[in-house]
Structure 1
Amino acid sequence: MRGRTTALTAIAVAVLTVLTGCSEGSAPENQAPPAKGEGPSRALTRSEQTRVEQAEQRLIQGCMKRKGFRYWVGPPADADTLRAFSNRFVQDDVGWAREHGYGGRLKKAFFADKKRDPNLAYRERLSPSERQRFSDALDGGPKTPMLSVRLPAGGAVRSLDGGCRHSARQQLFGDTEAFFRADKTAANLVAVYTPKLRRDPRFTKGLDAWSRCMRDAVGRDFDDPGAARAHADERVKGLSASEAHAVEVELAVAEADCARSTGLPSTLSRLDRAYGDPVRDRYADEIAASNRMKHAALRKAKRLGRRD
């Protein structure tokens, strides 16, 4: 199925647009840059973004119904699940780590729900020809145009722009190509400046201090938080759910304690402003355009909600 399931799409969008994080193996990213002022220039809040995503799903549902298919709108992912899927460079919330570790149980629950997704079950019950028609209705047929944008740090992102997904996004955002170009550019600026950030002595000094703290706390050397999480992934293999959670909690709490005691998150915030602000200024038009279209989509989502 070319179309992603409802909740997984929401997760992906939220991770890209709201949460602190970095892709696997990439340089650290501080929290998304704080919006200046109010109105359409600021980024949407997490709840506002969720409202837009749910409106998009309802529009897709109506479109699919008109094309003769059923389509279910799943509930939005809760804040803890979204956080579990974010790739934060360093965990610094001791309370969250004590309750959720690295979010392993939340992720397992999410994927268990995905196996029960009614859209997937419904599609599998269709005949091969109807299954293809379903996919074409959702994402467009073989001749569907492909959106593409070159990212500021290199590489490109592509996405189908057809079917009911296109129709829903067009109703919410207007020019889907312009939105795709602005939004993907604005969401992928971190990679432009993180090579410089990683070479900054303030970063390497802070990371060394965090590593020494972890050695004292858990008796192991970790080059960075990613290495600690990889170690946790290895240790939990073959363990019961409760045992695996205990392992996660031990390492995640140590990571967060060490982050706070060494001031690593504050260091990252300062370096993000120093290296990131000039890049964000360079792409201010794209950031502003993305935010304007998202606010327009939010207004439409509210109107749709009043009509429901």
Structure 2
Amino acid sequence: MTTVRAFGFVAMAALSMCVVSTAGGCAEGPGRDDAGKPQSVPGSVRAQDDLLKRAESTLAQRCLAERRVTPPPAPPGPDTGDRTGGGPAPDSREAAARRPFPYGIDDPAWAAQHGFGGAAETARRHGEDGARAQEPRSDAQEARRQQRFLDAMFGTGRRELSTRTATGLVVRANSDGCLAEAQRVLYGDQARWFRATVAVDNLEAAAHHRVTRDPAYRAVLARWARCVAPVHKADDPGELRDAWQRRARGLPPDRAAALQRRYAVAEARCVRSTDLAGTGARLERRHTADLRAEYADLIADHRSMRERGLRHAVRHGL
């Protein structure tokens, strides 16, 4: 059984970065128009997400202030510059290289230009991560400050809340931290919000998990493996990428890049000829529908509590 602490999840991590940032990216918004009247709930999902993140951040910051806990400064993001100060935006070429291919690259031209994209970027940064690991650690006082913030933000002791995702992952959280308090204020019931949010946030991953175990997908994957075997034997695209990373170690950068492109193009051509990506996408739609039916009650809970949170945020100018 795999167990993770709840703030390891993307949603929790994003909020924690929101709270610790003092640069203003998640600062408290006015919640009112120029005439002083409360704003209405925004119409777009993205704007609603931003409102809820800002509201959670504002409430959590108030809680931290009441507990006399000062968030540590947030480290600058990689290669993003100072956004609040008008720093450079991410390179469009880097964004293009991070195009998602959940069931294998299906664009040979893209593969010829970007190789494996994100996989290559991960390998490139491996040395940088190793160098950063050698940097001196924070002193004991700073470490204690960081721990005090984490305890105040996410709670301490036995994690009272527990739920299991559709993929079998057990997620636990405390109910005594400032994040929990912010969620109780916004959504009314933090335990229900926790269970519903974990379920909803993991539906996409669960659908992908089911696709990769679907006999129809496995049959097409076997054809893909036979297709790619003349270049390198691999049971799936992930294994092909691992093989490239192993072989690229110790090679000069130009030869490693050429090998990467060769493997990536082979992957893409075989994905295209076997329709592996198309099969995965079609099966994912079916499994997503099944999961939404299975988790209909939690999805409805999530929707109603989300609407409550939006109304609360607007009403109180969060």
Shorter-chain TM-score: what band?
A: 0.5 to 0.7
| 1:10 matches 2:14 | yes
The match for 2:24 is: none
User: Does the residue aligned with 1:126 lie in a helix, a strand or coil?
Assistant: helix
The match for 1:261 is: 273
User: Residue by residue, what CA displacement relative to the aligned partner does 1:112-171 show, whole Å, maximum 9, x if unpaired?
Assistant: 69998xxxx99756266545433322222336x431013345452212333233234445
Amino acid at match of 1:205: A
Q: Which runs of 5+ in 2 are unaligned?
A: 17-40, 81-89
In 1, Cα distance between equivalents of 2:10 and 2:282: 36
**How many percent identity over aligned positions?**
30
Equivalent residues of 1:90, 1:256 under 8 A apart: yes
The match for 1:148 is: 162
In 2, Cα distance between equivalents of 1:257 and 1:183: 38
In 2, Cα distance between equivalents of 1:303 and 1:60: 17
User: Residue by residue, what CA displacement relative to the aligned partner does 1:194-220 show, whole Å, maximum 9, x if unpaired?
Assistant: 5687352x323321332233235xx11
In 1, Cα distance between equivalents of 2:120 and 2:315: 36
Equivalent residues of 2:104, 2:268 under 8 A apart: yes
In 1, Cα distance between equivalents of 2:301 and 2:256: 44
Deviation at 1:224, TM superposition (A): 1.1
User: Does the residue aligned with 1:92 lie in a helix, a strand or coil?
Assistant: coil
The match for 2:246 is: 234
User: Residue by residue, what CA displacement relative to the aligned partner does 1:213-241 show, whole Å, maximum 9, x if unpaired?
Assistant: 3235xx11211112112212312323456
Question: Of the candidates 288, 293, 296, which is equivalent to residue 284 of structure 1?
Answer: 296
Q: Which runs of 5+ in 1 are unaligned?
A: 13-39
Equivalent residues of 2:15, 2:56 under 8 A apart: no
Equivalent residues of 1:102, 1:248 under 8 A apart: no
Equivalent residues of 2:119, 2:241 under 8 A apart: no
* C-alpha RMSD of the superposition: 5.1
Amino acid at match of 1:198: R
The match for 1:184 is: 198
Deviation at 1:182, TM superposition (A): 1.3
Question: Of the candidates 149, 162, 182, which is equivalent to residue 134 of structure 1?
Answer: 149
User: Residue by residue, what CA displacement relative to the aligned partner does 1:19-64 show, whole Å, maximum 9, x if unpaired?
Assistant: xxxxxxxxxxxxxxxxxxxxx9xx956x865775566456545544
In 1, Cα distance between equivalents of 2:218 and 2:298: 31
In 1, Cα distance between equivalents of 2:312 and 2:179: 16
User: Residue by residue, what CA displacement relative to the aligned partner does 1:275-300 show, whole Å, maximum 9, x if unpaired?
Assistant: 44233212222223334545665677
Deviation at 1:96, TM superposition (A): 5.7
Equivalent residues of 1:44, 1:291 under 8 A apart: no
Calculate the TM-score normalised by the size of structure 2.
Answer: 0.60
Q: 1:128 to 1:194 in 2, by over 3 A?
A: closer
Deviation at 1:85, TM superposition (A): 11
| 1:103 matches 2:118 | yes
Q: 1:165 to 1:96 in 2, by over 3 A?
A: farther
In 2, Cα distance between equivalents of 1:111 and 1:56: 36
Amino acid at match of 1:10: A
In 2, Cα distance between equivalents of 1:6 and 1:114: 24
**For the pair shown, which has the larger CA radius of gyration, 1 or 2?**
2
Paired residue total: 270
Report the structure, 1 or 2, having the larger helix content.
Answer: 1
The match for 2:283 is: 271
Q: 1:149 to 1:58 in 2, by over 3 A?
A: same
In 1, Cα distance between equivalents of 2:107 and 2:15: 21
The match for 2:19 is: none
Amino acid at match of 1:147: L
The match for 2:70 is: 69
User: Does the residue aligned with 2:229 lie in a helix, a strand or coil?
Assistant: helix
